[in-house]
């Protein structure tokens, strides 16, 4: 048994090493606590400068890096001497406005000291809800890479309201990984990775070096604590890691207080590595997967469910039972079975009003004059993803 376990660990170590050594486009996420610890030290410990040096060295070899950075609100709090993060939205927006300039000033100075330029990108959730904005943001990021600059990406907290927020920058990091087709996402946090128990309270806690996937058994290991600065804990990290891995990027969760980028990219056993899932090779399907806010629901019968899930067919009018919610053509909608479980989601060719006119009808019997635009399919297979069993149970 021990020999089999050792062989498996050796195979996983080789897989990890090959994966990270082949990674060329990399997203780094540094949280508020991590970033402020380096900022307040004045860079005297040299750790943040070593990270910048590693980035600069690997960029000379053709690597591309994007940085997701929390901290605008935290920097504003630090400047004004405010110990606890306010709950009032207007105050948080004001602190973000004060802190954002300080945050970018710090990044600009760090990279300028190594002869590198940065480009600031502030985003809100609507970049993922609107396909055109999504692609424009992607184009901007890729252009920054071509200029040899490092994109510094943050949520636009000074104008964000609840319906436009990602929730935390862990979620944003997963989106950016998908947006730019990253090979690797590194989540720098305040622990050395994921452990079998809470390492702060259990002496026998063991670091998990390799995860094939993140499921509910992994989430059950987490004991999250809230603090006055940051929003995301380890649960947030795991949720982001799962979505990023599902989007096709490998993920490493590791210590950001002592960041060892070179060691990570050389395949050393640092932090927790999560294997990428290669299901969504299509960029359009990846966008659909990451867009979690559906605009409405389409309910289908058992025959249509079988055709979609088992036979990889498009959704036709004949299999539709009813719709729920008002939506227009081009919206991302959820596809639900008779048990009210989402089995997939996709881009609809029809509005909810038009679907109600043609639902349950065979394609040949539909009067084309009934609807404003006519397609054989309500959702084409190329514009749809089917959820696996775990995603159906817990939402995609």
CATH of the domain at 124: 3.40.1160.10
Using alpha carbons, list the distances in angstroms from residue 213 to 241, 264, 365, 381. 10, 20, 46, 26
Residues 27, 160: one domain? yes
Q: How far apart are CA 373 and CA 351, in angstroms?
A: 10
Q: How far apart are CA 232 and CA 73, in angstroms?
A: 14
User: What pLDDT is stored for residue 393 in this prediction?
Assistant: 60
Residue 160 has pLDDT above 70, yes or no: no
Residues 148, 127: one domain? yes
Q: How many C-beta atoms surround the C-beta of residue 206 within 10 A? A: 10
Is residue 197 very low, low, confident or very high in pLDDT (cuts 50, 70, 90)? Answer: confident
User: What pLDDT is stored for residue 166 in this prediction?
Assistant: 58
Provide the phi-psi class of 43: left if phi over 0, else alpha when psi is between -120 and 50, else beta: left
Last residue of some domain: 286, 318, 344? 286
For 3-7, 16-20, 117-121, 199-203, which range has the lowest pLDDT when averaged over its residues?
199-203
For 33-42, 129-138, 276-285, 343-352, which range has the lowest pLDDT when averaged over its residues?
33-42
Residue 126 has pLDDT above 80, yes or no: no
Residues near 394 by Cβ (< 8 Å), separated by ≥ 6? Answer: 216
Last residue of some domain: 260, 286, 312? 286
Residues 99, 196: one domain? yes
**Which tens digits make up the pLDDT trace of 229-249?**
444 478 888 888 888 888 889
Using alpha carbons, list the distances in angstroms from residue 359 to 41, 325, 335, 373. 64, 15, 14, 15
Residues 38, 144: one domain? yes
Residues 227, 331: one domain? no
Residues 93, 233: one domain? yes
For 66-70, 92-96, 219-223, 381-385, which range has the lowest pLDDT when averaged over its residues?
219-223
CATH of the domain at 380: 2.30.130.10
**Which tens digits make up the pLDDT trace of 337-375?**
999 999 999 999 999 999 999 999 988 888 776 776 678
Residues 220, 346: one domain? no
User: What pLDDT is stored for residue 163 in this prediction?
Assistant: 44
Please give the tally of structural domains in the chain: 2
Residues 142, 264: one domain? yes
Q: How far apart are CA 153 and CA 67, in angstroms?
A: 6
Q: How far apart are CA 115 and CA 112, in angstroms?
A: 5
Residues 238, 380: one domain? no
Residues 276, 310: one domain? no
Residues 217, 348: one domain? no
**Which tens digits make up the pLDDT trace of 5-39?**
878 889 999 999 999 999 999 999 987 677 767 66
Q: Which domain holds residue 36?
A: 2-286
Residues 112, 251: one domain? yes
Q: Hey, what are 244's tokens?
A: 């990023």
Last residue of some domain: 286, 308, 329? 286
């Amino acid at each position: 048994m021990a020999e089999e376990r050792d062989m498996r660990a050796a195979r996983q170590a080789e897989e990890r090493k090959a994966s990270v050594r082949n990674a060329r486009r990399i997203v780094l996420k540094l949280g508020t606590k991590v970033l402020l610890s380096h900022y307040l030290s004045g860079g005297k410990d040299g750790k943040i400068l070593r990270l910048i040096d590693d980035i600069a060295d690997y960029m000379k070899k053709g690597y591309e890096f994007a940085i997701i950075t929390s901290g605008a609100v935290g920097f504003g709090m630090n400047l004004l001497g405010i110990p606890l993060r306010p709950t009032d939205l207007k105050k948080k927006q004001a602190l973000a406005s004060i802190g954002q300039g300080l945050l970018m000033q710090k990044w600009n100075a760090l990279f300028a000291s190594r002869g590198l330029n940065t480009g600031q990108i502030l985003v809100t959730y609507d970049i993922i809800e609107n396909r055109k904005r999504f692609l424009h943001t992607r184009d901007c990021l890729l252009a920054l890479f071509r200029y040899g600059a490092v994109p510094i990406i943050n949520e636009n907290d000074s104008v964000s309201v609840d319906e436009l927020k990602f929730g935390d920058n862990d979620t944003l990091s997963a989106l950016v990984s998908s947006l730019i087709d990253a090979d690797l996402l590194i989540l720098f946090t305040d622990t050395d990775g994921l452990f079998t128990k809470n390492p702060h309270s259990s002496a026998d806690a063991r670091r998990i070096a390799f995860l094939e996937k993140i499921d509910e058994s992994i989430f059950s290991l987490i004991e999250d604590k809230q603090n006055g600065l940051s929003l995301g804990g380890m649960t947030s990290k795991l949720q982001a890691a799962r979505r990023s891995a599902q989007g096709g990027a490998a993920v490493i969760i590791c210590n950001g207080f002592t960041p060892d980028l070179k060691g990570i990219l050389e395949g050393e056993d640092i932090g927790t590595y999560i294997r990428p899932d290669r299901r969504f090779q299509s960029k359009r399907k990846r966008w659909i997967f990451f867009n979690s806010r559906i605009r409405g629901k389409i309910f289908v019968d058992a025959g249509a469910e079988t055709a979609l899930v088992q036979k990889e067919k498009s959704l036709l009018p004949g299999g539709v039972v009813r719709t729920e919610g008002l939506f227009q053509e081009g919206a991302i909608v959820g596809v639900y079975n008779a048990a009210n479980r989402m089995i997939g989601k996709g881009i609809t060719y029809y509005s909810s009003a038009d679907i109600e006119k043609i639902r349950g009808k065979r394609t040949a019997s539909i009067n084309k004059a009934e609807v404003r635009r006519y397609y054989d399919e309500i959702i084409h297979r190329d514009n749809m993803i089917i959820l696996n069993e775990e995603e159906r149970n817990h939402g995609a």
